[in-house]
Amino acid sequence: MTTLLIIVLLIVAFLVGMNLWTRKLTAQGYTRVPQLGDITPVEGGSIHYVERGHPSKQTIVMIHGLAGQLQHFTYALVDMLAGDYHVIALDRPGCGYSTRDRADLGCLPEQARMIQEFLDIKGVSDAVLVGHSLGGAVSLAMALDHPEKTKALALLAPLTHKLSATPQVFKPMEMRSEWLRKLIGNTLAVPLAAKTAHHALSTVFDPEPAPEDFLDRAGGALGLRPSAFITGSQDVVGVDDSIAAQADGYGELSVPGGILYGAQDAILSPDTHGETMTRFGLTHEQIDGAGHMILITRPDACAAFIRRIADANQTEQSSPSENT
């Protein structure tokens, strides 16, 4: 047996072993974080969502960020708001228990289209969009493409402009080859993610501590799946390719609303992605001492912010009829 053949066999054996480890972690993820809601097919995939509150009330639609899932909102915010609003929290296409059929559907216009199609099917035509991080960019895409169907924007630490570089914690996802994504996703990515989860969470939550129940209550264990890595990689590239054109169109933004940031956000700059949006009609607030994951670490402040945005725009819309 030649040396080259031995090396090849060792590599194959290693990859097979990593794949088996990946399958085990994936099964554990599904057990720890089961499907919470219903799934609705849309063109190019499907949307998994949970729904709380009465449909007669103002609808709030919650859209999570990169490598996340709807449990980021069910962690606290959904229950805090469901008594007064009709709340829908969803998995972005390809994330959590949602699906998407192709890599190109990771760009912002396509993610916005798929979510808006879902809302059309649900009969929602006046949503207040609550987008966190990358979900904020998707929310802005929906507001630009369908302003008549978006009542207001209540964005939490949103991505609004093109990044000079991918944040280091997400750098491993920055690859454009789909076959390489699938190879790494089904072998190396999940075991490595499991081994480095504590460090990754510390980075994303900095300067605040990550909650001990994040993997379960916030759905983090769903990130230990090949599809989570593959979708995350598609998102990193798709958003990078589409957000500059979106930012060029912010002058056409007609939907009111605001942005709330943690002042010490270690992932996205509050000034670059928050303060700059005031020129386009959005307000900008900051929470001192808070980081990027304010929807989990500061739910009271986030809920109060969302209420202010939703109630202010409800009042503005209803006041003409009250004066007639």
Q: What is the pLDDT along the chain (324 residues), one digit of tens a residue?
A: 688 777 877 788 888 888 998 999 999 999 999 999 999 999 999 999 999 999 999 999 999 999 999 999 999 999 999 999 999 999 999 999 999 999 999 999 999 999 999 999 999 999 999 999 999 999 999 999 999 999 999 999 999 999 999 999 999 999 999 999 999 999 999 999 999 999 999 999 999 999 999 999 999 999 999 999 999 999 999 999 999 999 999 999 999 999 999 999 999 999 999 999 999 999 999 999 999 999 999 999 999 999 999 999 974 444 333 333
Which domains are delineated in the chain?
Answer: 31-316 (3.40.50.1820)
pLDDT at site 277: 98
Rounded CA separation 197/247 (Å): 32
- pLDDT the model gives residue 1: 66
Specify the 3-state DSSP secondary structure of 239: helix
Cβ atoms of 82 and 126 closer than 8 Å: no
CA 296/CA 76 separation, integer angstroms: 7
* Longest CA–CA separation in the chain, Å: 91
Instruction: Return the SS3 of 120.
Output: helix
pLDDT at 16: 86
Its sign, for the CA torsion 211, 135, 169, 260, is: negative
Measured N-to-C along each axis, helices 108-122 and 226-248 cross at an angle, to the nearest 10 degrees, of: 100
In tens, the pLDDT along 110-121 reads 999 999 999 999
